[in-house]
Structure 1
């Protein structure tokens, strides 16, 4: 399944591909909590990086964890007016997965891994 959010205008957009994992454990979703809201683990793909490599790197940075990336779930893209980038076009792939273990403290110190039910996450300040 692929979803498109927003409306594309005539101006040029800055494309940014990203990859994210949706880990499940005991009926709950693993997400990162920051002062801006809740986020799926993952982020922008660096040059020459695969989706799997991106997710592995981002999970260490954001949660200090090793993960197993499983099957592809869906993709989404959006046309956003960003305060700095202006016309921003994130293109994102989402995968099911599992957190194996905590290897280190997160590099991004304002990030906290939390486990929430879908009902707890639905309607919350979710930004990604």
Structure 2
């Protein structure tokens, strides 16, 4: 399933493809808290990087854990104005998986990994499309 958020206007947008992991443990979801808000674990894909490699790298940087990626859940994109980037078009693909083992200390110092009850985080992600992706997991249970 794929969903588009926002409205594309007559501007030149910066596209940014990303891959994210939805980590679930019972009624909790693993999220990253930053000064900007809550995000799923993951991020932007670097040149030549696969979705899985991106998720593995981002999980190590953000949580210090190795992960396994089990399967794709959905994808979404949005058209918006970003204060630092300008007209922005992030395209995100969401996967489910599990944390395996701690392999390093997180390197992104302003990122804090948290397990949060879905009912407490529902609708509160920085990106509306990430809230929607969580709904795809938790509302179908």
Root-mean-square deviation (CA, aligned residues, Å) is 1.1
- Aligned equivalents of 2:52 and 2:101: distance in 1? 17
Query: What pairs with 1:42-61 in structure 2 (closer than 5 Å)?
Result: 42-61=42-61
- Aligned equivalents of 2:109 and 2:83: distance in 1? 24
Q: Is 2:126 the counterpart of 1:127?
A: yes
TM-score by length of 1: 0.94
Number of residue pairs matched by the alignment? 127
Which of structure 1's runs of 4+ aligned residues deviate more than 4 A? none
TM-score by length of 2: 0.86
- CA offset at residue 13 of structure 1? 0.8
Query: What pairs with 1:29-68 in structure 2 (closer than 5 Å)?
Result: 29-68=29-68
Structure 2 unaligned segments of length 5 or more: list them. 128-141
Q: State the Cα deviation string for residues 60-119 of structure 1 (Å, max 9, x = none).
A: 111111100111000000001111221100000000110111211110012111111210
Structure 2 counterpart of 1:106: 106
Structure 1 unaligned segments of length 5 or more: list them. none
- Greater mean alpha carbon deviation, residues 68-77 or residues 98-107: 98-107
